[in-house]
Amino acid sequence: MVSMRRVAAVAAVSMIGLSACSGTDSANSAVPGAPPKDNSVIANAPVAAAADILPGSTMEKIKQRGELIVGGSLDAPLLSQQNPVTGQVEGFDADMGKALAKYIIGQPKVKIVNSASETREALLSNGTVDVVFQTYTITPERAEQVAFAGPYYSSGLTIAVKKGTTGIAKPEDLNGKTVIAGANTPAIPAIKQIAPQADIVTFGSDPECIQALKQDRGVAYVQDETLLVADAQKDPTIQVVGSPFTTDPYGIGLKHGDDQFKKFVNDWLTKMQAQGVWQQIWKNSLGTVVQGEAPAPPQIGSVPGS
């Protein structure tokens, strides 16, 4: 599916970056005082009917505030990266957040809180952020702490090594080796299942994991395919080996127990897909380096925890 097409694209093009693990500082998605950017895709995104903004709901609170607060990344190329010139946060996740803001508020007004994989649940539960768009893989365990709308995208885990490393071509080759993984990421249980004799060491962010790999603190790093291909594109000493060995559905993180908001976000996502806006956002971001047409979006509610 989409991950296989990405693999085919790696040989021909420079790929992208997701940041499943990032820092914890906060930042606005635009230069202070600058109007929000409304590109042609976002201009075509739907706006909720007044009747859909229910009194006392999360949607109404966001609309009254005039800004959607998103837990996300500022350093994930083609997913959610802050443009150093304009200050705008650009990419697939960033534009999805802007489109949701437009659906609620009527304008794509978004504030990005740069979050880490180990802080996302807390940011949602304590109300610091309204939603999380950050390569947030849906799992039943996470669904006990947060709610997930979607899934809205699908990827998979793969392996990165230092260029020139031999003896690692498939997940089973990780047995008996020290393997790096991001803290609180799906890579940890996946490694335990497929290579139970591996020794797992964890770090809090993707840059820390890459640094640990380069320092030989582990012989391999397991993470989302698109994130690792981006790392390899930025750093020629890193090499991605093999194909994804899992299917990881990304969800839109929401505060646990807010069924009303979850239904609202899923209804929005359905409209985004039906009207082709989701597909156009993909083409303008991930699709600039992945060959072919936009993939079919994953079915909403199709995985445990969604």
Per-residue model confidence as pLDDT tens digits over 95-123: 999 999 999 999 999 999 989 888 999 99
220, containing H or E segment: strand 220-224
Per-residue model confidence (pLDDT) at position 34:
36
d(CA 161, CA 181): 12
Choose between 90 and 35: higher pLDDT: 90
Per-residue model confidence (pLDDT) at position 78:
79
- Domains, the chain, in order of start with CATH, read 2-155+249-288 (3.40.190.10), 157-241 (3.40.190.10)
What is the distance, to the nearest Å, from the Cα of residue 49 to the centroid of all Cα atoms in its chain?
28
Per-residue burial over 54-75, b if 16 or more Cβ lie within 10 Å, else e, is eeeebbeebbeeebbbbbbbbb
> Any idea which residue has 């993984």 for tokens?
181
Choose between 184 and 271: higher pLDDT: 271
CA angle (78 as vertex; 90, 295 as ends), nearest 5: 115
Q: Tell which residue, 67, 85, 174, has the closest CA to residue 131.
A: 67
Query: Where do the H-state alpha helices sit in 11-71?
Result: 40-43, 58-65
Q: Which residues contact residue 211 at a Cβ distance below 8 angstroms, ignoring those fewer than 6 apart?
A: none
What phi-psi label fits residue 115: left (phi over 0), alpha (psi between -120 and 50 degrees) or beta? beta
Per-residue model confidence (pLDDT) at position 146:
96
Evaluate whether 18 touches 171 at the Cβ level (below 8 Å). no
Confidence of residue 27 (pLDDT cuts 50, 70, 90): very low
Choose between 30 and 124: higher pLDDT: 124
Percentage of residues in the chain having pLDDT higher than 70: 86
